[in-house]
Amino acid sequence: MALLWLILVSLTNVCEGLKVLQQIPWIWKFASYNFQSFVRTTNEYAAPACIPKILSSCILLWQLMTVFPFGWAAFSSLTQWSLDWGLVDLAFAAGLTL
């Protein structure tokens, strides 16, 4: 379940990034809308305009790096027909860092 949630969240952030890069139209509904929050927050502190893009990219990369251990644990567990608790622990630890 956690893997599906992380994939869904990552996909909404990817779509938000594509909207920012003007690769999909702004009326696209499947997006996280987190970027506007980054812009509003960083504007309060007079941060450079590139900071929201950097923050958004780092969070997306972090999410994708968290999806990988969950996928690895799920695939490994399905091929072995039992849970690999080391991989499961690693995956949940990676998810908790978010």
- For position 83, what pLDDT does the model report? 80
The structure's pTM equals: 0.75
Domain count, the chain: 1
d(CA 4, CA 95) in angstroms, rounded, equals 12
Above pLDDT 90, what percent of the chain?
A: 6
Query: What is the average pLDDT across 64-87?
Result: 84
Percent of the chain that is helix, strand, coil (3-state, to 5): 75, 0, 25
> Which residues constitute the domain of residue 82?
2-97
- For position 28, what pLDDT does the model report? 83
- For position 23, what pLDDT does the model report? 92
